[in-house]
């Protein structure tokens, strides 16, 4: 009858070998996965910036067309819920408009004061 080797002794011998062989493999998989995720995040950020830039360009084109057609100061139909009376209608003609929204440097967002 052949000698019986307990499974835990096999585990004691195989575990260090498995660690030596699998550690570089797992490290490479994790490193590659992190690199792929970082590249995907960067690509998504760039795509978001491109979409934002496109939206800004289209908004500028729409405003340019409205100004060129002469209705740049009129609100769109149905935009006012109070029967067409808005701040622009209440404003006295010839009154100078002053901007109360200074632009913050570097962010491109307006800040109200």
The confidence score (pLDDT) of residue 39 equals 97
Q: What is the pLDDT of residues 42-78, one digit of tens each?
A: 999 999 999 999 999 999 999 999 998 886 555 555 5
Angle at 94 between CA 98 and CA 68, to 5 degrees: 85
The confidence score (pLDDT) of residue 77 equals 56
**Cβ neighbourhood burial of 66 (10 Å; 0-12, 13-18, 19+):** middle
Torsion angles phi and psi, residue 84, rounded to 5: 95, 0
Question: Between residues 103 and 56, which one has the greater pLDDT?
Answer: 56
Taken in order 32, 35, 41, 46, the sign of the CA dihedral is: negative
Question: Between residues 93 and 3, which one has the greater pLDDT?
Answer: 3
Secondary structure letter of residue 81 according to DSSP? S
Q: How far apart are CA 43 and CA 30, in angstroms?
A: 20
74: helix, strand or coil: coil
pTM of the model: 0.44
The confidence score (pLDDT) of residue 9 equals 83
């Amino acid at each position: 009858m052949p000698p019986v080797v307990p499974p835990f002794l096999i585990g004691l011998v195989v575990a260090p070998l498995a660690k030596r062989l699998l550690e570089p493999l797992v490290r490479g998989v994790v490193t590659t996965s992190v690199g792929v995720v970082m590249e995907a995040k960067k690509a998504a950020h760039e795509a978001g910036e491109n979409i934002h830039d496109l939206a800004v360009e289209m908004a500028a084109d729409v405003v340019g067309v409205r100004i060129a057609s002469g209705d740049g100061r009129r609100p769109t139909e149905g935009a006012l819920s109070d029967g067409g009376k808005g701040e622009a209608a209440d404003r006295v003609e010839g009154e100078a408009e002053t901007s109360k929204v200074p632009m913050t440097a570097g962010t491109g967002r307006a800040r109200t004061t």
